[in-house]
């Protein structure tokens, strides 16, 4: 799209003309649902829709530049490698990191597991004396939070099981925010702290500065999950002060099948490899192997180059929108969504009731109606939301429910779509015989 949106000096929500231009970039918004209306897609937290320029970028790669990266001296190989490395540069610039600190993965879940497995390998003696800082064992502690997606909880449970370390967690306030009063679980023996930047259930933004300060005070490594924040607000890994961060293309208007781990260079250099094979080797004999430096050390095998080309274009698109303006626009949508949900009898919000320090992720439970039934009623009205436990069972258990329905917003959503959602939600209980 044009540079129109980047010309604003202050962060303001998109006006009607700008929003119409944005919406015209998303072909899927023309899709007609089961009820005969255009689909109001309110499920960006699960996966984002893609602008036409991103779809075209992936197709253009296959049409014009497809080849294996880092393996050929021919024109197509050079252009494919350039696209691969240009993506690294683009993502680094987007999060204010360095390109040699970006490791490509197939998703953010793999990025978290990569860190956990590398630490496990180091704890088992791999990496030599240089990897001592990474080692975890009996008497040590790993800290996470009750607000986590399973992808940022289960890998640490498994690492504790393998190493004998203890798992502890920050708990929550009644509205589902991480409670700073529980920072005392970050004790002197804590070696690693892993937490989400923003919850995929409550939408609450974590108190990053307080958690980072507590972790730094005991010398712990800090891992941040930005999957729910990186497409909705500016991300600056240097300012956040963490050691590792993960992100996922498909939640950032990009293709599926690509993710990334950002890590401080000095820590990446200490980490032994996790996956081994082609593309990450310096030398191999029949007796052993030596490995490339990061990031190549962690990129064994064929890579999702076309997906990275598409993600690169998505990052440019988001930058053109201006992430401050994206956040401002979505804050308006979130306030309208929260106000509307609060006015519907028999609907319980899971999370903070106002838009301060949160993103546009709104989970809720409807009295007497299973979330899957809620989702089906809304689908009949051509409103798409997520239902289930959202890969966050402990957080739902905290709220006393097994699962929930969830609406979430993206840059191309409108107030009119929120109103369609609210109108449909208002009739759910009556449809199932409630008041």
Planar angle of CA 362, 175, 335, nearest 5 degrees: 40
Name the DSSP class of 205.
B
Q: If DSSP codes are grouped into helix, strand and coil, which group holds residue 147? A: coil
Q: Which residues contact 282 (CB under 8 A, 6 or more apart)?
A: 289, 290, 291, 292
Structure-token pair, residue 88: 């690294």
DSSP result, 237-259? HHHHT-SEEEEEGGGTTS-SS-E
| CA distances in angstroms from 181 to 125, 207, 211, listed in the order given | 36, 11, 11
Residue found by looking up tokens 């999957």 in the block: 227
Phi, psi of 246 (to 5 degrees): -120, 150
Name the DSSP class of 407.
E
Helices and strands: H and E segment counts in the chain: 14, 15
Cβ proximity of 404 and 364 under 8 Å: yes
Nearest to 109 by CA among 217, 215, 251: 251
Structure-token pair, residue 90: 């683009």
Q: If DSSP codes are grouped into helix, strand and coil, which group holds residue 105? A: strand
Instruction: Tell me, yes or no, if 227 is annotated catalytic.
Output: no
Residues 170, 108: Cα–Cα separation, whole Å: 22
Residue found by looking up tokens 């301060």 in the block: 356
Residues 383, 239: Cα–Cα separation, whole Å: 38
Q: Computed from CA positions of residues 78, 83, 84, 90, in that sequence, does the dihedral angle turn out positive or negative?
A: positive
* 271-275-281-286 Cα dihedral, nearest 10 degrees: 110
DSSP result, 210-224? HHHHHHHHTT-EEEE
Q: Which residues contact 432 (CB under 8 A, 6 or more apart)?
A: 368, 369, 373
Among the listed residues 53, 160, 227, 391, the single catalytic one is: 391
Active-site residue set:
391
């Amino acid at each position: 799209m044009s540079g129109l949106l980047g010309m604003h000096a202050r962060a303001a929500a998109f006006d009607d003309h700008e929003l119409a231009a944005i919406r015209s970039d998303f072909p899927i918004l023309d899709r007609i649902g089961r009820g005969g209306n255009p689909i109001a897609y309110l499920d960006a937290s699960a996966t984002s829709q893609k602008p036409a320029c991103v779809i075209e970028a992936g197709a253009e790669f296959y049409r014009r530049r497809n080849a294996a990266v880092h393996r050929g001296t021919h024109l197509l190989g050079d252009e494919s490698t350039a696209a691969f490395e240009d993506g690294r540069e683009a993502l680094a610039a987007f999060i204010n990191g360095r390109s040699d600190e970006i490791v490509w993965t197939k998703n953010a879940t793999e990025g978290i597991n990569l860190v956990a497995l590398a630490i496990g390998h180091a704890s088992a003696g791999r990496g030599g004396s240089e990897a001592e800082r990474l080692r975890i064992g009996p008497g040590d502690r790993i800290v996470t939070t009750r607000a986590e997606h399973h992808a940022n909880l289960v890998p640490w449970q498994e690492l504790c099981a393998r190493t004998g370390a203890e798992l502890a967690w920050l708990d929550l306030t009644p509205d589902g925010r991480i409670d700073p009063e529980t920072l005392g679980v970050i004790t002197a023996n804590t070696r690693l702290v892993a937490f989400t930047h923003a919850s995929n259930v409550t939408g609450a933004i974590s108190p990053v500065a307080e958690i980072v300060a507590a972790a730094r005070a005991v010398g712990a490594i800090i891992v941040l999950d930005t999957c729910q924040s990186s497409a909705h607000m500016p991300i600056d890994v240097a300012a956040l002060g963490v050691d590792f961060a993960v992100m996922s293309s498909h939640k950032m208007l990009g293709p599926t099948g690509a993710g990334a781990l950002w890590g401080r260079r000095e820590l990446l250099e200490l980490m032994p490899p996790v996956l081994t094979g082609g593309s990450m080797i310096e030398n191999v004999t029949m007796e052993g192997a030596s490995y490339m430096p990061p990031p190549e050390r962690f990129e064994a095998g064929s890579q999702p180059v076309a997906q990275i080309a598409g993600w690169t274009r998505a990052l440019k698109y988001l930058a053109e929108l201006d992430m401050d303006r994206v956040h401002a626009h979505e804050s308006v949508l979130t306030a309208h969504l929260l106000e509307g949900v609060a006015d519907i009898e028999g609907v319980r919000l899971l999370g903070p009731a106002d838009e301060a320090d949160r993103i546009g992720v709104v989970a809720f439970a409807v009295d007497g109606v299973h979330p899957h039934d809620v989702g089906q009623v809304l689908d009949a009205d051509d409103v798409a939301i997520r239902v289930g436990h959202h890969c966050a069972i402990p957080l739902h258990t905290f709220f006393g429910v097994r699962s929930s329905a969830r609406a979430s917003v993206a840059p191309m959503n409108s107030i009119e779509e929120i109103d369609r959602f609210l109108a449909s939600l208002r009739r759910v209980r009556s449809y199932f015989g409630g008041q």
